[in-house]
Amino acid sequence: MANLVAIVGRPNVGKSTLFNRLVGHRQAIMDNESGVTRDRHYGHSEWIGKYFTVVDTGGYVVGSEDVFEGAIREQVQIALDEATVVLFVVDVDAGMTGLDEEFAQVLRQTDKPVLLVANKADTTDRHHMMGEFYALGMGDPYPISAQNGAGTGDLLDQVVSYF
């Protein structure tokens, strides 16, 4: 069974940007209108000689509020059924939302490793902004910037430790 890393989280936290960074830009096709990844939900990646598949579960989100509940169920289901490791992405710029708490509530029920990824920590002076996410009870957040790559090495070191 191949190692599968599932990226979950509410819309606009940067799941597709992280996916692109992990698998290479050429593998993802973005729909600029909706911010939804339309194609290539799965991509391949490698870190320190370990190979894995990444799934951007956000591709299943349609994007209106009334589908959030169904989207959460579908994303979390994929994560729990298939994933070796789950990356639960939150947005330090936007701060914590009720939807983040809903994701956390479901993700806390799995035995699989869930890493809390505090995205949009583009510079170290943004790291203090991740403090509020400790309240999710998902352990220490990994501050990263999917956009500029900051922190992604430390995150990947942890990810591949589960393979």
Which residues make up each annotated binding site for GTP?
9-16, 56-60, 119-122
Q: Which of 15, 52, 71, 76 binds ligand GDP (CB under 6 A)?
A: 15
At which residue do the structure tokens 């400790």 appear?
134
Q: Does 120 bind ligand GDP (CB under 6 A)?
A: yes
Q: Which of 8, 16, 104, 141 binds Mg ion (CB under 5 A)?
A: 16
Site string for ligand GDP, 48-87 (x = CB under 6 A): ----------x-----------------------------
Q: Where are the alpha helices (DSSP H) in 10-120?
A: 15-23, 68-82, 98-107
CB of 52 to ligand GDP, least distance (A): 19
At which residue do the structure tokens 């209106």 appear?
64
Distance CA 80, CA 153 (A): 24
Phi, psi of 100 (to 5 degrees): -60, -40
